[in-house]
Amino acid sequence: MLGGDLVATWDVALSDNVYKIEFAHGTTTGKRIVYVNGQEVVRKDWLFKLVGKETFTVGSSNTKATILIEAVGGFAYEYTLQVDGKSLQKFIDNRAKTSKTWLLKVKGEDCRVVLEKDTMDIWCNGQKMDTMGEFVDDGTETRFMLGEHECCIKATSGGKKKSSIVHSLLLDGEKIPASTQ
């Protein structure tokens, strides 16, 4: 599908999904094609300027992404992805502070549950979940259903000032380990 012009691939984890961004750059024709999860979102043929940038949106939140194309001497090029105006690494580091992800199996099906800490929105496999939050003795509990399974994200104090709030996911009362993505 992408042929020999594919020059860069990135994975971007958002609340609703993990998106694969692929960039094809024809350095003889100036062609630029951006694919998000295999779907073409940008196509430019016959550009005389081989450097520059391509901007597009990703995910249901229409997160802005930009691919920067820079010459690094001769006919070599460097491709950098920025997400939400930040380098991909800064974006990932920031997401680690503002969200928490769990990967689990429910009835043999893979589920990716994401908590957005700032809004307390919970996403599962791209769907924003209906939740019910309540205060409890040691923090808060946000409840939602995955099929007929009861889920609860508990937010409790970490006990130390620096570690602030600890978020745990319980599926039918059993704690699920957090994921790194």
pLDDT digit string (tens) for 51-102?
A: 899 999 999 999 999 999 999 987 789 999 999 999 999 999 999 899 999 9
Domain boundaries, the chain: 3-84, 98-176
Query: What confidence category does residue 164 fall into, taking pLDDT thresholds of 50, 70 and 90?
Result: confident
Residue type at 175 in one-letter notation: K
Average pLDDT over residues 112-132: 94
Q: Which fold has domain 98-176?
A: Lipocalin (2.40.128)
Q: Decide if 71 contacts 50 (C-beta within 8 A).
A: yes
pTM of the model: 0.84
- pLDDT tens digits, 131-148: 999 999 888 999 999 989
With contact defined as beta carbons under 8 Å apart, do 21 and 7 qualify?
no
**CATH code for the part of the protein at 3-84:** 2.40.128.180
What is the DSSP code (8-state) at residue 4?
G
Assess whether the region 3-84 and the region 98-176 belong to the same CATH fold. yes
| Rounded distance between C-alpha atoms, residue 19 and residue 59, angstroms | 8
